[in-house]
A and B are shown apart, each in its own frame.
Chain A
Amino acid sequence: MKNQVSEVTEEDLDIIDALKTRDRRRFEVFYKKFYRPLFTVAYRYVRHTQTAEEIVHDVFINIWNKSDQLNIQSSMKSYLFRSIVNSSLNYIKKEKTQMEKQSAYRIVHEQGLEIGESEATEAEEILLKGLEDALAQLPEKCKQVMYLSRFGKLKQQEIADQLEISIKTVKNHLTYGFKKLREHLEKHQQLTIWVMLLLKFITP
């Protein structure tokens, strides 16, 4: 109980007041402050810009339209991220079949691109695409911790509170996540050097 009270910040009070007084300008400032990390977390789950945008909108529409019915147990920030993660996971669950079809198409499509345009493709784009995949392949809880930490910019204690796990477990997930991504980048780096050298030898 003590924790929950201490988590309510001055900013929470301000936004609650803005909702109460229907102050659209302050709501806008609040929205813009959290938009980017929330959108990025949603996007990492659903991998679709428009869907991620709609998920963020729905959460804020909910806050605005139903402010008198909201049951926020901790800080507004924590509430927002919990809502975004839950909405994203619900979306994935609902759209699973369709997503599978889409990703099957995407893999075929992108493989075609890589073969056809491999020389023109920037090394960085390949790296980032690989990194996205490496992130997505992390175990579910680890992935959630990594998303909230690196994209949601939540502190370790905030993640622990939100996921109801110990801070030690958060640290373990982050360490594991970083290790896996590091391994991935190391492999990528070796591959890039190899490709570069190969290109130098085969091009006149």
Chain B
Amino acid sequence: MAHQNNEELIYELIIEDLEETIAIEDKMILQKWRTADAANERTYLEFLNVQASIDKLYGANGNADASWEVLDKKLSIPENPTFKIRVKKLNIGFYLRIAAVLLLVSSLGYYFMAQGKYAVISTSGTANVTRIVLPDETIVNLNAGTKIRYNKENFLFDRDLEVLSGEVFIQVVKHAGGQFKVIAGDVEAEDIGTSFNVKNENGNVSVTVEEGKVALKHEGTNQKLLLSAGKMGTFNSSTKRLALADNSDLNYKSWLDKRFNFDGMVLSKVAAQLEEVYQVPVVVRGNVLNNRKFTVANLHYQTIDSALAVISASLQCKITREKGTYVLSDN
């Protein structure tokens, strides 16, 4: 019974962790539980997996802009004949209570509003991909260990997004407001197109364009690059140099879509990429197996088990789990 209760408590903590409402002391309890046993960590990852899958259902349908256009027309009809929902009568007391709250808010609210004009979103080092929609409907996907910030009060006029650390994939929407701009370390990336990936590792920045065009600038040295689809721009924080190259990394956004293309890549590197994306340790045993080459187009699985199953079947090797680590070895 006690065991059952403990299990329920831990599950509650995992859910609070996913909701990012967990208290610091509870987070420590959860962390301790996770590291105590590989099975615990597996349970935690399974909860994450449930959340990630639910998130996919969340994003499956619906477009706010298109929907508003339809609603806007409906609202222009004075009395909607298809109106179905019954409404209750006005409750004067409610408005009196609001008036009381309004007085309270107007006297206290400004301080908090001025302090909190920025929306800061950060993901933990083990978080799943987090998708957020900015006020202008631009979609930003955050990799684990990422921190971004924007001015929530003024964003529709000044569309600046700061990538303070980590990695994001951005799908910018057309908007009547200012040009969408990403600030990462010392460089600025101005969107002239649609979607691109930004990575900021201690001030070393890389921008990879999927669609459209992006202008990459370093104000300090007045350097500027124009990146088109398939190009990658990098900024080296030590040399302060911007550089342009063709993007040769087929898997630059596999952290987001979990799609991989391997073209004769040695298994040790394949394992390293899978490890980074799924955030689970993967080890390849034996020199021969480490250097075997693996080729596959569009490997696409939400869980590492399925991805490894394909590798195992292709290379005829064995998968085992040892204390939370996936081990690939010869049969």
Contact = CB atoms under 8 A, between A and B. Distances in A.
Interface of A: 4-5, 8, 10, 12-13, 16, 24, 28-29, 31-32, 35-36, 39-40, 43-44, 49, 52-53, 56-62, 64-66, 68-73, 83, 87, 122-124, 127-128, 131-132, 135, 149-151, 155-156, 171-172, 174-175, 178-179, 181-182, 185-186, 189, 192-193, 196-197, 200
Interface of B: 8, 11-12, 14-15, 19, 21, 46-47, 49-51, 53-54, 56-58, 60-62, 64-65, 67-68, 70-72, 74-75, 79-80, 82-85, 87-91, 94, 97-98, 100-102, 105, 109, 133, 135, 137, 300-303, 305-306, 309-310, 313-314
A116 to B, nearest CB: 21
Contact of A32 (B49, B68, B105, B301): B68
Given A24-B75, A196-B306, A131 B68 contact: no
A124 B50 CA distance: 13
Given A10-B109, A178-B47, A185-B46, A69 B89 contact: yes
Contact of A61 (B11, B50, B51, B75): B75
A62 B86 CA distance: 8
A132 B57 contact: yes
A29 B64 CA distance: 10
Interface of A, secondary structure class, is: helix
Contacts of A31: 64, 67-68, 71
B45 to A, nearest CB: 10
Nearest to B49: A185
A24 B90 CA distance: 22
Given A10-B105, A56-B67, A65-B79, A151 B85 contact: no
B253 to A, nearest CB: 16
A178 B83 contact: no
A16 B97 CA distance: 13
B8 A35 contact: no
Contacts of B71: 31, 57, 60-61
Given A32-B64, A150-B54, A5 B85 contact: no
B87 A69 contact: yes
The 7 closest A-B pairs by CB, nearest first: A71-B88, A200-B313, A35-B64, A39-B62, A32-B64, A193-B309, A175-B11
